[in-house]
Amino acid sequence: MAPALTAPAPGPASRRSPRRGLPPVAGLLVLSPVCAEYLIGYDQIIGRPLELLSGLLLLAPLYGAAAVLIREITRRAGRGWPTILLLSAACGLAQAGLVDQSLFNPGFVDDPSWDRERLPTLVSALGISASHVLNFVAGHVIWSFAAPIAVVEACVPRLADRPWLGKAGTGVMVVLYGLAILVFSHEHTRDFMAAPRQLGATAALVLALVVAAFALPRRRAARPGRAPSPWPVAGIALVLLAAHQLFPPTWEGAVADVLVLTSLGGMLWWWSAREGWGRMHALAVGGAALLVNAGLSFAVEPLGDVSYAAKYAANAALLLAVLALLAGARRRLRGA
């Protein structure tokens, strides 16, 4: 099985499978916004199924189309997970810093919890909170893009290294993503606009991440030893990602969070170059991310007035859906 953090260059027979690629594209269009916004259960619409479904009409172009484009660009370039993660970081930073500008807006959420999370690590000279940077950008990388991509690719292992769309389909994704950016940017910047220096610095960092995504070598030298089995990898990812979500919004919590995320990234980077690392490991890490938020959702207090019966029913339904999805993906991988 090909290493999950690398990808073979697409051959003549694998450059395009537009019809076969439509189901995974549809799955990623749905799974990405669900993981980004619904799974943790923080929003007041968590107990309103019709609003959750209608919300996907706006969120799928913003999150799902971006996830599809990140994956499509990476696989067409014959690259692997380092490129996916760097492009995900670029998209996540662009969304939080340029599109909705939540990184800079002190009144982005009209709730006391916003200040409680923002002020303890506020860097006044920059107008940003260290805790928010970690939560927003890492959250987008892990839950908005990388984990959904890993899970959906595991569901279609024979197409995992191939582009899923032709030129027309890719163009549709670009248009959807562009329209979503316009809509959300207009909505969130009517009453607030970040300073030009903040926007300029963010744009420069986004560009640097994109350049870095394609500056990395396509192949990595193999390391001696054999990769651990997927189960302990999943357990370690589960513990460290849960810790990331539970650290308090303080400077001590921010430092510990950086150490945890760096440790997880370093372990995955080291193990993925060993013999035996494959797509089952990528599913293990992506699945652990989904399970962390699905499990923590039961302890999250939603914004606004929500019926607890409806909230817990929605949390339980999403958790069961995640378990079924991961079981199906694992079965497809084993079958392949």
Would the pLDDT of 106 be above 50? yes
pLDDT value for 14: 44
Distance (Å, rounded) from C-alpha 195 to C-alpha 19?
A: 45
* CA-closest candidate to residue 104, choices 201, 186, 35, 38: 201
Q: How far is Cα of residue 223 from the mean position of the Cα atoms in its chain? A: 28
Q: How far is Cα of residue 336 from the mean position of the Cα atoms in its chain? A: 25
Show Cβ contacts of residue 157 under 8 Å, excluding neighbours closer than 6 positions. Answer: 279, 332, 333, 336
Distance (Å, rounded) from C-alpha 191 to C-alpha 149?
A: 34
Bridge pairing between strands 122-123 and 128-129: antiparallel
Residue found by looking up tokens 């293990």 in the block: 284
Overall size of the chain counted in residues: 336
Q: Are 145 and 286 in contact (CB under 8 A)?
A: no
Beta strand ranges found along 270-319 (DSSP E): none
pLDDT value for 18: 57
The answer to whether the predicted template modeling score (pTM) of the entire model surpasses 0.95 is no
pLDDT value for 43: 86
Both tokens of 120, joined, read 């303890």
Would the pLDDT of 296 be above 50? yes
Residue 306 has φ and ψ, to the nearest 5°, of -130, 135
Q: In 3-state terms, what secondary structure has residue 275?
A: strand
Residue found by looking up tokens 């995320």 in the block: 261
Q: Are 21 and 162 in contact (CB under 8 A)?
A: yes
Residues 198-209, mean pLDDT to the nearest whole number:
98
Q: Are 90 and 206 in contact (CB under 8 A)?
A: yes
* CA-closest candidate to residue 319, choices 303, 286, 296: 296
Q: In 3-state terms, what secondary structure has residue 99?
A: helix
Beta strand ranges found along the chain (DSSP E): 122-123, 128-129
Q: Which amino acid is at 248?
A: P
Q: How far is Cα of residue 161 from the mean position of the Cα atoms in its chain? A: 19
Instruction: Render pLDDT for 127-161 as a digit per residue (tens, 0 to 9).
Output: 999 999 999 999 999 999 999 999 999 999 999 99
Instruction: Render pLDDT for 204-215 as a digit per residue (tens, 0 to 9).
Output: 999 999 999 999
- Measured CA to CA in angstroms, residue 9 lies from 64, 70, 135 at distances of 24, 16, 33
Would the pLDDT of 246 be above 70? yes
pLDDT value for 187: 93
Q: In 3-state terms, what secondary structure has residue 129?
A: strand
Query: For residue 265, how many other CB atoms are within 10 A of its CB?
Result: 12
pLDDT value for 241: 98
Average confidence score pLDDT of the chain:
92
